[in-house]
Amino acid sequence: MLVNENMEIIAAPSREHLGRHLSELPYRNIPNIVNDLQNGTDIYEYALIDNLLSLEYVLFTKRFENGWHMGILTPIDKYYQNAIYMRIFKAALGVLLAFSLSIILLRIEMARRKSDELTLALRISAAELQYFNDNLQKMVEEKTQNVTELQNAMLKTMAELLESRDDITGCHIGRTQRGVKIMLEEIERRGLYPEETKGWNTELLLQSCQLHDVGKISISDSVLKKPGKLTEEEYNAMKRHTSFGEKIIEKIEGMTKESEFLKYAKIFAANHHEKWDGSGYHNGLKGDNIPLLGRIMAIADVYDALTSERPYKKAFTHEESVRIINEGSGTYFDPALVEVFNHAAQQFRNMDNDAD
């Protein structure tokens, strides 16, 4: 959940909690927690008890610079489940290693006493070692898969959190993700930018691009949900979402060792409004100094903005949008990527139907 400085819930997976005061949640010791948060508590862990079911929960909170708090609430048994499983795994592995070593030492000793059984003992030991190695490799692969699933779940949850604040942004997230996928496939087919794309994890990259607008959670509702055209002051406030997004992801990176999967998300968040001629924001990067992922997202982002209806404008047609993007080649966009877009333009036209 996301809680503002007045302890009102402004974002949560369940819409029934939106707009409610945090103290209204049905937990026995929630007033004490609200008091702590209002007094400026930063990272903290609380134990909660459901008033109806007497279930124990644990709540973690993190305070942002603007006085808001991000909270994660989970049943306490699930919180400790992974830690317990890991301890059991380590204990079982230790027992297995000790047992295997004992068998090996015993058979070596028997082989020394009976030379005619040496060959058989060595074959049995080798088979056991191979069996152990195969099973250890399987456990490592399963652990890697679990980490990947956790990463994807975190990215999806953060994207849904953003979508709960702004329905327009939510639809925009899905369409830009499909646009980035189309661009990546065409870049690979044409063999463009081989050095920059070498080693990319495309699946994780496409998950990460959902967070390109994550900085908008720091933009006030009066600006984010304004039904008309923004004033210059409001537009300047909106432009700060790229720097806010970069800082939010950097904070998450600092709180976890498994932060490698966030590197793509930070590039998307910080650079998708940079322009080829250096007139973009928030760093004013120019040409090839703009990360390739930022240049790709710039095209997918603008295409969706052009073809989507907004409170302050009507949707442009596909043909008009293609023309506008081509007019921005060399100023707003990477000329080489505009050529990629032109070859894939029909796929952009059809991508909503493909999603259906």
Give me the sign of the Cα torsion angle 223, 313, 275, 213.
positive
- The mean pLDDT of 86-104, rounded to a whole number, is 74
pLDDT at residue 356 is higher than 50: no
Q: How many Å apart are CA 133 and CA 88, to the nearest integer?
A: 19
Does 155 map to a domain? no
pLDDT digits (tens, 9 = 90+) for 171-221: 788 899 999 999 999 999 999 999 999 989 898 899 889 889 888 888 888
Q: Do residues 282 and 294 lie in contact, with contact meaning Cβ atoms separated by under 8 Å? A: no
What pLDDT does residue 190 have?
A: 93
**pLDDT attached to residue 336:** 97
The average pLDDT across 160-174 equals: 65
Q: Domain for residue 72, yes or no?
A: yes
Contacts of 165 (CB under 8 A, 6+ apart): 2, 10, 11, 216, 217, 221, 224
Q: How many CA atoms lie within 13 A of 138 on its CB side?
A: 6
* Any domain includes 160: no
Q: Do 170 and 303 have their domain in common?
A: yes
Average pLDDT over residues 254-282: 87
Are 179 and 326 part of one and the same domain? yes
Domain boundary among 118, 148, 178: 148
Lowest mean pLDDT among 134-138, 181-185, 278-282, 346-350: 134-138
In-domain check, residue 103: yes
Q: Are residues 261 and 339 in the same domain?
A: yes
Which range marks the domain in which residue 64 is found? Answer: 2-77
If pLDDT is split at 50, 70 and 90, which confidence band does 154 have? low
- How far apart CA 278 and CA 246 sit, in angstroms, is 19
14 and 106 within one domain:
no
Total domains in the fold of the chain: 3
Is 202 within 8 Å of 187 (Cβ atoms)? no
pTM for the full predicted model: 0.59
Cβ-based neighbour number of residue 180 at 10 Å: 25
The CA-based diameter of the chain, rounded to the nearest angstrom, is: 92
DSSP 8-class letter at 74: E
Classified as helix, coil or strand, 45 is strand
**Same domain, residue pair 196 and 340:** yes
- Check residue 103 and give its pLDDT: 80
CATH (domain of 304): 1.10.3210.10
Domain co-membership, 190 together with 320: yes
Q: How many residues does the chain have?
A: 356
Judged against a pLDDT cut of 90, whether residue 1 lies above it is answered with: no
Q: What digits encode the pLDDT tens for the residues 328-342?
A: 999 999 999 999 999
Give per-residue pLDDT as tens, 286-299: 999 999 999 999 99
DSSP string, 49-61: EBTTT--EEEEEE
Both 270 and 284 in one domain: the answer is yes
Q: Tell me: the pLDDT tens digits for 54-77?
A: 667 777 788 888 888 888 877 777
- What's the pLDDT band for 108 if we cut at 50, 70, 90? confident
Q: What confidence score (pLDDT) does residue 50 get?
A: 66
Q: Looking at the domain assignment, is residue 156 inside a domain?
A: no
Three-state helix/strand/coil letters over 216-271: HHHCCHHHHCCCCCCCHHHHHHHHCHHHHHHHHHHHHHHCCCCCHHHHHHHHHHHH
> Phi then psi for 70, rounded to 5 degrees?
-105, 130
Averaged pLDDT score across all residues of the chain: 81
- 3-state SS class at 314: coil
Q: Tokens 């942004």 belong to which residue?
A: 169
**pLDDT value of position 216:** 86
Q: Which residues of 71-86 are buried (b: 16+ CB within 10 A; e: fewer)?
A: beeeeeeeeeeeeeee
Place of tokens 């204990």: 91
Of 77, 111, 132, the residue at which a domain comes to its end is: 77
Judgement on whether residues 205 and 95 belong to the same structural domain of the protein: no
Mean pLDDT, residues 96-106 = 75
> Do 211 and 255 fall into the same domain?
yes
Name, in order, each residue with C-beta under 8 angstroms of 131's C-beta and a sequence gap of 6 or more.
none
Query: Does 196 lie in the same domain as 57?
Result: no
Shared domain for 70 and 85, answered yes or no, is: no
pLDDT top residue among 224 and 138: 224
Are 42 and 88 members of one domain? no
Residue 49's pLDDT is 67
> Domain boundary residue among 148, 179, 195?
148
Q: What is the mean pLDDT of residues 258-269?
A: 82
